[in-house]
């Protein structure tokens, strides 16, 4: 029988917390960038200007057809060199976090844009007609009437996607970037307690994601009750 | 005020409107009726450019709607429109529904827009509901708010697209009362509706459409007392039977 020894965890907590901060940084930046760029992609895809729609459709289909781990790998291989040559950085500057953020953001925007597109399409066409009839331009109708309603309907889906994204950040371990998972792995490897550390990391991921998804569910119920009255 | 001249429209090979011609003078109330699918809603939506048309011309207050150089948003801000399904903005309070276009399109101040909104809300008898949301009002109340919202923009004319068709029977009259009052005050109105009581009371002329054609365009007395076309006779016999 395997002998569990959890003693290396308490001392490693500060290091693990540093890793958690990296995981959260990547998640938050990818969500913010993903929603902004995803909204633009969704609007392009629905725009009457054909080339814009083609570009957005191509982008979304490309990123949705490639495994995330490969996208990240390419970004680790390419982006650091690009950044270094663009900004004349010292070759020793660590740009792994930046490239991870960019990779995730670009990848996630493809998923966010599909959620947002569905959200925009869920707003009845009559709303745009009413806004136009009041003299609003297409941009005003989008900004003041369609998007606020679309986002309110989409919040649960966007948050659920953010939870999945938070779990996926563990993929950066292959660049030896110490996110939460990477940090746990390093500590376990160092102390010969990999099993304990990975069980602990799994429990933390589970706790955070499960709690977050329960909150999303609660919010969704509240939203449905609000719409029903 | 509104001049529609030989307007035709088709979706692919399906002809929706064929050579429609009519005029609406300042202060006139025109009722447009006809069986469903006759193109009456499409025609009224062409007037403020919500529906494009392929040939012919429409001018509103001397401005050509079909001209690509026309600033359609600006024109629409001067033409009020009321929809079958109200189309209030559900994420905004009634007050915000009434002020948003005044502020963002006409550039009025927040206070000015609010005061104007409340004044018109009082006029349609709903001042007590100013802080509610559209979902908390009945259909008839929502439609009265929608009329107030259009009036907030000080329109030169009003378009009504089946304003009572989505309402429960007991709510139809509260909306028609507001429309009758508006007509009696001299507002230029073009109304797609099946409410023949309303037509008899305030219409100057009745336009009857069928299969995308304007079949009759006559004074209300001539239309109700001796419709010329067989199609209009059948239509009137059916809807006035009960």
Q: What's A137's domain CATH number?
A: 1.10.3720.10
* Residues of chain B with a CB closer than 8 angstroms to some CB in chain A: 45, 48, 50, 73-74, 76-81, 83, 85, 87-91, 100-101, 104-106, 135-136, 149-150, 153
A to B CB pairs, distance under 8 Å: 64
Q: Do A134 and B91 touch (CB under 8 A)?
A: no
Mean pLDDT lowest among A76-90, A114-128, B191-205: A76-90
Rounded to an integer, the average pLDDT of B173-186 is 93
In contact, B18 and B212? CB cutoff 8 Å: yes
Residue A2 forms part of a structural domain? no
Residue A87 forms part of a structural domain? yes
User: Helix A147-168 to helix A194-228 angle, to the nearest 10 degrees?
Assistant: 170
Q: Do A134 and B90 touch (CB under 8 A)?
A: no
Q: Do B87 and A127 touch (CB under 8 A)?
A: yes
User: What does the pLDDT read at residue A41?
Assistant: 95
In contact, B140 and B122? CB cutoff 8 Å: no
pLDDT, tens digit, 9 for 90 and up, residues A44-88 = 998 888 999 999 999 999 999 999 988 888 888 877 777 777 777
Residue A5 forms part of a structural domain? no
pLDDT at residue A229 tops 60: no
Q: For chain B, what are the domain ranges?
A: 1-78+157-175+187-242, 90-155
Side-chain-side CA neighbours of B120 within 13 Å: the count stands at: 23
Residue A1 forms part of a structural domain? no
Q: Do B76 and A227 touch (CB under 8 A)?
A: no
Q: Read off the pLDDT band of B96 (50, 70, 90).
A: very high
Taking the C-alpha atoms of residue A96 and residue A77, their distance in angstroms, rounded to an integer, is 10
Alpha-helix residue ranges (DSSP H) falling in chain A: 8-46, 50-64, 68-87, 96-121, 125-133, 138-140, 147-168, 180-191, 194-228
User: What does the pLDDT read at residue A226?
Assistant: 62
Taking the C-alpha atoms of residue A134 and residue B106, their distance in angstroms, rounded to an integer, is 10
Task: Give A149's contacts in chain B (Cβ within 8 Å).
Answer: 89-91
Q: Do A137 and B73 touch (CB under 8 A)?
A: yes
Q: Read off the pLDDT band of B241 (50, 70, 90).
A: low
- Measure CB to CB from residue B74 to each of A130, A135, A227 and give the nearest one: A135
Residue A3 forms part of a structural domain? no
Taking the C-alpha atoms of residue B21 and residue B209, their distance in angstroms, rounded to an integer, is 11
Q: Do B153 and A148 touch (CB under 8 A)?
A: no
In contact, A8 and A186? CB cutoff 8 Å: no
CATH 3.20.20.70 at B1-78+157-175+187-242, yes or no:
no
Q: How far is A50 from chain B (nearest CA, A)?
A: 19
* Domain of residue A186, residue span: 10-228
Mean pLDDT lowest among A5-9, A162-166, B65-69: A5-9
Q: Do B85 and A135 touch (CB under 8 A)?
A: no
Q: What distance lies between CA A123 and its chain's CA centroid?
A: 24
Residue A217 forms part of a structural domain? yes
User: What does the pLDDT read at residue B102?
Assistant: 94
Give the phi and the psi of residue B185 in degrees, each rounded to 5.
-80, -5
Residue A70 forms part of a structural domain? yes
Chain A contact probe: residue of B46, B47, B70, B73 with most A CBs at under 10 A: B73
Question: Is the model more confident about B239 or about B133?
Answer: B133
Q: What is the tally of structural domains in chain A? A: 1
Residue A206 forms part of a structural domain? yes
How many helices (H) and strands (E) chain B has is answered by: 9, 10
Beta bridge partners of B33: B208
Chain A contact probe: residue of B47, B49, B91 with most A CBs at under 10 A: B91
Task: Give B83's contacts in chain A (Cβ within 8 Å).
Answer: 126, 129-130, 133
In contact, A225 and B135? CB cutoff 8 Å: no
Using CA atoms of A96, A56, B73, A129 in order, give the dihedral in degrees to the nearest 10. -110
């Amino acid at each position: 029988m395997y002998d569990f020894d959890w003693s290396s965890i308490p001392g490693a907590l500060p290091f693990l917390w540093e890793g958690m901060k990296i995981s959260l940084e990547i998640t938050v930046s990818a969500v913010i960038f993903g929603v902004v760029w995803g909204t633009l992609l969704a609007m392009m895809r629905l725009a009457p200007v054909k080339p814009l729609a083609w570009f957005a459709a191509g982008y979304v289909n490309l990123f949705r057809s490639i495994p995330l781990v490969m996208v990240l790998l390419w970004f680790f291989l390419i982006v650091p060199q690009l950044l270094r040559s663009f900004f004349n950085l010292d070759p020793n500057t660590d740009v792994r976090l930046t490239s991870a953020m960019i990779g995730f953001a670009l990848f996630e925007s493809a998923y966010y844009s599909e959620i947002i597109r569905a959200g925009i399409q869920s707003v009845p066409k009559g709303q745009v007609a009413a806004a136009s009839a009041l003299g609003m331009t297409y941009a005003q109708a989008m900004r003041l009437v369609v998007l606020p309603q679309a986002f309110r309907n989409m919040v649960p889906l966007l948050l659920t996607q953010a939870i999945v994204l938070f779990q996926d950040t563990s993929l950066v371990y292959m660049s030896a970037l110490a996110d939460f998972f990477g940090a746990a792995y390093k500590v376990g490897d160092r102390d010969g307690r990999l099993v304990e550390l990975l069980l602990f990391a799994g429990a933390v991921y589970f706790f955070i994601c499960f709690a977050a998804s329960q909150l999303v569910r609660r919010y969704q119920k509240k939203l449905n009750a609000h719409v029903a009255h | 005020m509104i001049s529609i001249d030989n307007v035709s429209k088709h979706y692919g090979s399906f002809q929706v409107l064929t050579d429609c011609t009519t005029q609406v003078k300042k202060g006139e109330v025109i009722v447009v009726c006809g069986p469903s699918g006759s193109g009456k809603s499409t025609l009224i939506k062409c007037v403020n450019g919500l529906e494009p048309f392929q040939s012919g011309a429409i001018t509103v207050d001397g401005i050509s709607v079909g001209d690509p150089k026309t600033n359609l948003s600006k024109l629409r801000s001067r033409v009020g429109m009321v929809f079958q399904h109200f189309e209030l903005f559900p994420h905004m309070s009634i007050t915000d529904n009434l002020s948003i276009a005044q502020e963002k399109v006409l550039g009025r101040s927040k206070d000015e827009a609010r005061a104007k909104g409340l004044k018109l809300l009082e006029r349609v008898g709903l001042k007590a509901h100013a802080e509610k949301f559209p979902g908390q009002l009945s259909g008839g109340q929502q439609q009265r708010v929608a009329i107030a919202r259009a009036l907030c923009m000080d329109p030169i004319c009003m378009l009504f697209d089946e304003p009572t068709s989505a309402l429960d029977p007991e709510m139809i009259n509260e909306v028609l009362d507001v429309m009758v009052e508006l007509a009696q005050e001299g507002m230029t109105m073009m109304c797609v509706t099946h409410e023949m009581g309303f037509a008899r009371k305030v219409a100057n002329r009745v336009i009857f459409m069928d299969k995308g054609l304007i079949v009759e365009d006559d004074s209300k007395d001539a239309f109700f007392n001796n419709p010329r076309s067989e199609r209009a006779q059948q239509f009137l016999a059916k809807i006035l039977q009960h």
